[in-house]
Chain A
């Protein structure tokens, strides 16, 4: 199965203890596949142990993008986390490790 990394790029941002993952298809024709496969449940399963709160997903077809807003994902928050990557800057590449079934 191909990984998301082959189909999309991603940038991670942070607000307090929330990680925001912007997932963007390289090609417009892959956006429907992302929208169908990269569901909230799939992301929650894939990032278990990292994302501890609820996930909201926004669909942005004009940008070929899905926005995932992941609560309680930064070990308590950027400013008081004991994590090495307190901002979760690298979480974009954790999401891109997800395997995508293609027909």
Chain B
């Protein structure tokens, strides 16, 4: 049997660790390395950066990741697929070419555009979340359709070493190389569904290897400081076996794979991507060796006619302030501090939240654990129309040092701009993906 297609996942979110991808690139024997770096809000933030500087708007860690990966890319000739293009895949391609030129490494980069539909989106279109028109959400800053395998195939056919995209459904980043390598038809929904199950298991990188899983005692994971990232050996049917590079930390187990298969899936019987509606309910996972788990058995139905569009809007500002109390009556003093803040600025900030970190901040109550913690931290957060107003929240909490309950210490204050995200649908015919090739040849003078 021919060597199966090996796809590694070198990043599961924009801020993910850098070196696990380098380990996969140098020692993973991979054919493709996928870096998934685009959360719901990331592209809206990137759009704001692009507004300030048309040469930006791609992932802020792109240069650091590419710098570290290019030498291995040259040595091992795998192909890189990533959505680090964010709001500006063309500028991202230019940045990659620039890095390659500095290193004297020949490279062909394919940038995929067409996901940005901000100019075409209908203000009257209703959101999937609240069924209200987009126009009610104030200033829209981004609208990106989720592209699928069909948008990536021409880039793979171009022979590019690096395929850089904006918004693409996460599993599609992985399914595209499978469909390309094995020649799957775009209406071969069972294979696409199996590939989607594989992509879905890989897309959060370390989360398949013990990250977001570990709990001392019942769920031990070794050497998490050196957590390895996973790869999948995918067969022509779309079934796969997962593994990680020898000597890396973490562990790939059945229990962990089950958690990741179901992660963020709102309907395990109908997981919708631009490529397929995948049924994960009959999926079989089995441990086939140490750090080896095999997946098979997903089924598919025809892909949806419409594409999901993620829309970002300016949602105002949030001001936060924190201060901590310890020892006798710590909770009572923190509560008193919160009451003082509410009395002073509650009317000015009707949308305010007061938390006791260490007691009730996460779930609003503590079930039966630790009703009397030794220390507790007051947190106040409130929404404001401007950054100046949001500042007041932290300032008021800080002023508790000399005006509040006894022993308040360690005050901190923050202001954040908020970007809200809602989604809507567009007909897939309205979205046209385009591939732009950029090249640098090390022997020639010009790119």
Contacts and interface: CB of A to CB of B under 8 A. Distances in A.
Given A62-B281, A63-B261, A20 B266 contact: yes
A38 interface: no
A2 B283 CA distance: 30
Interface string A64-80: 11010100000101111
Given A63-B285, A79-B419, A9 B255 contact: yes
A9 B217 CA distance: 12
A97 B364 CA distance: 14
A20 B281 CA distance: 16
Contacts of A5: 218
Contacts, number: 113
Contacts of B269: 58
A22 B361 contact: no
A69 B267 contact: yes
B225 interface: no
Contacts of A89: 212
A45 to B, nearest CB: 13
A58 B267 contact: yes
Contacts of A49: 364-365
A82 B353 contact: yes
Contacts of A24: 255, 258-259, 262
Contacts of B129: 16-17, 77
A84 B362 contact: yes
B310 to A, nearest CB: 10
Contacts of B401: none
B219 interface: yes
Contact of A63 (B258, B361, B367): B258
B367 A20 contact: no
B379 A60 contact: no
A34 to B, nearest CB: 13
B212 A11 contact: yes
Interface residues of B, number: 50
A85 B362 contact: yes
B267 A79 contact: no
Contacts of B365: 49
A85 B361 CA distance: 8
A84 B282 contact: no
A50 interface: yes
A91 B363 contact: yes
Contacts of B361: 84-85
Contacts of A60: 262, 268, 281
A70 B284 CA distance: 25
A83 interface: yes
A20 B420 contact: no
B66 interface: no
Contacts of B315: 79-80
B355 interface: yes
Interface in B381-412: 381-383
B213 A11 contact: yes
A77 to B, nearest CB: 7
B41 interface: yes
B353 A9 contact: no
A26 B261 CA distance: 16
A26 B353 contact: no
A9 B218 contact: yes
B260 interface: yes
A11 B262 contact: yes
Given A13-B265, A62-B284, A82 B423 contact: no
Contacts of A64: 258
Contacts of B436: none
A89 B363 CA distance: 11
Contacts of A16: 129, 421-423
Contacts of B219: 9
Contact of A50 (B355, B364, B379, B420): B364
Contacts of A91: 363
B400 to A, nearest CB: 19
Given A11-B262, A58-B268, A90-B362, 17 more contacts: A9-B259, A20-B262, A20-B264, A50-B363, A50-B364, A60-B262, A63-B261, A69-B267, A77-B129, A79-B41, A79-B420, A80-B418, A82-B351, A82-B382, A82-B383, A91-B363, A94-B367
Interface of A: 5, 9-11, 13-18, 20, 22, 24, 26, 49-50, 58, 60, 62-65, 67, 69, 75, 77-80, 82-85, 89-91, 94, 97
Per CB-CB distance, the 8 closest pairs between chain A and chain B, nearest first, are: A13-B264, A22-B262, A11-B259, A82-B353, A97-B367, A82-B381, A79-B421, A80-B420
25 contacts: A9-B218, A11-B212, A13-B264, A15-B264, A15-B266, A18-B266, A20-B266, A22-B259, A22-B265, A49-B364, A58-B268, A60-B268, A63-B261, A63-B285, A65-B258, A67-B268, A75-B353, A77-B420, A78-B421, A79-B419, A82-B351, A84-B361, A85-B362, A90-B362, A94-B367
